[in-house]
Amino acid sequence: MHNDEKLVQIIAEACLEEKAFDVIILQVHELTIIADYFVIASGKSAVQVKNIVDYVEAAMAENDIVPIRREGHQEGVWVVLDYGPIILHVFREKEREYYGLENLWGDARRIQIQKV
């Protein structure tokens, strides 16, 4: 498994371990120069969104990887962690429905989440 593929799986798995729901991985490298993968997840509340993000950051730190950028943590309604080739979006449920990122990137290939 390529390093980015392994890291995207670590991120998705960490989201699930922290009880995120509707976790998906989109391979977007053919559609944008922004990133190779988007991981999109949801939480029921701002507190849960923050907890999911904090858990992912801790899991990635175990691999000596820190985000390049972190946005939205204070509000907890849409938090973005930018790991360069991988961008994590964690939404509160109603914001995810409103923004519909998976629909916006509907041409992206979905990657199955696997245990790492």
Domain positions in the chain are 3-111
pLDDT value for 70: 95
Comparing C-alpha atoms, which of 83, 58, 81 is closest to residue 91? 81
pLDDT in tens, 65-100: 999 999 999 999 999 999 999 999 999 999 999 999
pLDDT at position 85 is 96
| 24-80 pLDDT per residue, tens | 999 999 999 999 999 999 999 999 999 999 999 999 999 899 999 999 999 999 999
CA angle 57, 59, 64 (to 5 degrees): 85
Q: Which CATH number fits domain 3-111: 3.90.190.20, 4.10.1240.10, 3.30.460.10, 3.90.1150.10?
A: 3.30.460.10
